[in-house]
Structure 1
Amino acid sequence: MKLAFALASSFLTSAACAQQLQYPAIKSKAQQRTGFVPPGWEILDGATGDLNKDGLADEVLVLERSARKGTTDLELPRMLVVLFKLPGNQGYVLNAQSNSFISTHDDPETDEPLAGISITRGVMKIDFQYIRRNSHDDLSTSAYKFRYDGRHFVLIGADISITGRMSFTFRQYSYNFLTRKGVLTTGNLGGEDDQTLTRTLALPVPKTLDTFATPGTWTLAENFIL
């Protein structure tokens, strides 16, 4: 589980930085998506798709503070904003914002942790990766799926994959929070004797983008942090 904790540590470091920073206010409404970008910030990534089932193309943006000239600031703060498209030519309205969910790229020895954002059939999916260059550390990817329920973006699924560079083994966790089922698959790379374990998840209250503020802070099972 060394890598799982390394990944969690990366997320927690970003969360600590987020708590110490002062974030600019985001407009509640604008004609174009660029109207939600505060001065001194820029769009790092984003996705377009219908999130609230009204047939209009909504927007999810990852905003990052622009690097100061002459510096190599690797701890640039980031924000996740969700914009709902209004009918006609009314532009967009801000629906959700998180200043802590998107990890910063604060380690020069690792690749960019944000692997991408997508919207498919109303589900917002955010992908992360942990890849340390010139290292024997394990490789890790994680994905979080949120769906709008009319009030909040609810976490409906998550996937974690850990691959051993030296052991040539893998461990995959797949969680479906709608059915409250978790599946753990382990095995050897290229092998045919994978082992699968399915278990029921104890989830008294669904997590949302508001309550699950930072990846790496939710203990789902012993020695494993989501």
Structure 2
Amino acid sequence: MLALYGEISRPAASELTIPDVIYPRLPARAASAGGFIPAGWAMESQTFGDLNRDGIPDVAVVLRQQDPRNVVANDAGLGANPLDTNPRILAIAFRSGSSGDYILRFQNHTLIPRRVDPVLDDPLEETGGIAIERGALVVSLHSFASAGGWTMSSVTYRFRFREERFALIGYDRHSVTRNSGETADVSINYLTGKIRVERGDISHDKKEVVWKKLPIPSLPMTIDAIGDGLEFHPEN
């Protein structure tokens, strides 16, 4: 991991046995947001708003598995004990104007990373997770290590439904290195192709700002292409 965010070692995680997960395929349609919940999973959060610009509120949900086998004992290591490693699914469904049903448009289990390290906070613990703002899906994640690393950060993604896919239009990350007080803020506007990097220190107001140009790919970056939302560093 680059120095901009500080290095995080994960010795505790290597001592744990994390169960494998088979992710279910969600129903193709449902009469309500709750109709997409598979057996053994629960609705963790939901948000409504018009994502495909047809004037009808759609829905985005975060589902979390409720398997007790994914709650792992951590008797010998640092951090959480027990550790809840139950994973999440992010799903989006458009509401049909004719039937009123919700039609599944997308599901993903990588953007919101599974918690598998007891010294790392749950990535949704501080953020509230998801929202729909001005026709865009907003996903906010959080990273904090109680051991093995000094950097804490928050990252926000904005996606808009374009060309039959959910394209990344905005990325913002705020990071603080706790032992040095150094701060780093990265903001990327994928619609203008501009990157703003601001560095500073919590001890003073002086900031160093650098602007960069983001190469525009032939196709927009999608949710699936990002992978783990805390490991993705597009400015590099």
* TM-score normalised over the length of structure 1: 0.83
Distance of 2:167 and 2:60 partners within structure 1: 15
1:40 aligns to 2:54 (yes or no): no
The two structures, once aligned, show a CA RMSD in angstroms of: 2.7
Structure 2 matches for 1:138-177, cutoff 5 A? Answer: 138-177=151-190
What corresponds to 2:78 in structure 1? none
Structure 2 matches for 1:60-209, cutoff 5 A? Answer: 60-68=60-68, 71=71, 72=82, 74-87=84-97, 90-114=100-124, 115=127, 116-133=129-146, 137-205=150-218, 206-209=220-223
Residues 150 and 177, structure 2, Cα contact 8 Å, conserved in 1: yes
Residues 161 and 173, structure 1, Cα contact 8 Å, conserved in 2: yes
**Secondary structure in 1 aligned to 2:35?**
helix
Answer with 208-217 or 30-39: which moved more: 208-217
Deviation at 1:48, TM superposition (A): 1.4
Residues 152 and 175, structure 2, Cα contact 8 Å, conserved in 1: yes
Distance of 1:199 and 1:54 partners within structure 2: 35
Deviation at 1:73, TM superposition (A): 5.5
**Secondary structure in 1 aligned to 2:216?**
coil
Distance of 1:134 and 1:24 partners within structure 2: 34
Deviation at 1:150, TM superposition (A): 4.5
Q: Which amino acid aligns with 1:55?
A: G
Structure 2 matches for 1:9-20, cutoff 5 A? Answer: none
Give the unaligned 5+ runs of structure 2: 72-81
1:212 aligns to 2:232 (yes or no): no
Residues 113 and 230, structure 2, Cα contact 8 Å, conserved in 1: no
Q: Which amino acid aligns with 2:161?
A: Y
Q: 1:161 to 1:36 in 2, by over 3 A?
A: same
Residues 92 and 105, structure 2, Cα contact 8 Å, conserved in 1: yes
* TM-score normalised over the length of structure 2: 0.80
Q: Which amino acid aligns with 1:91?
A: D
Answer with 189-198 or 69-78: which moved more: 69-78
Q: 1:192 to 1:70 in 2, by over 3 A?
A: closer
Q: Which amino acid aligns with 1:92?
A: Y
Figure out how many residues of one structure are paired with residues of the other and give that number.
Answer: 214
Distance of 1:133 and 1:156 partners within structure 2: 32
Give me the identity figure in percent: 27
Answer with 196-205 or 73-82: which moved more: 73-82
Distance of 1:217 and 1:164 partners within structure 2: 17
**Secondary structure in 2 aligned to 1:34?**
helix
Residues 52 and 150, structure 1, Cα contact 8 Å, conserved in 2: no
Answer with 194-203 or 44-53: which moved more: 44-53
Distance of 1:201 and 1:108 partners within structure 2: 35
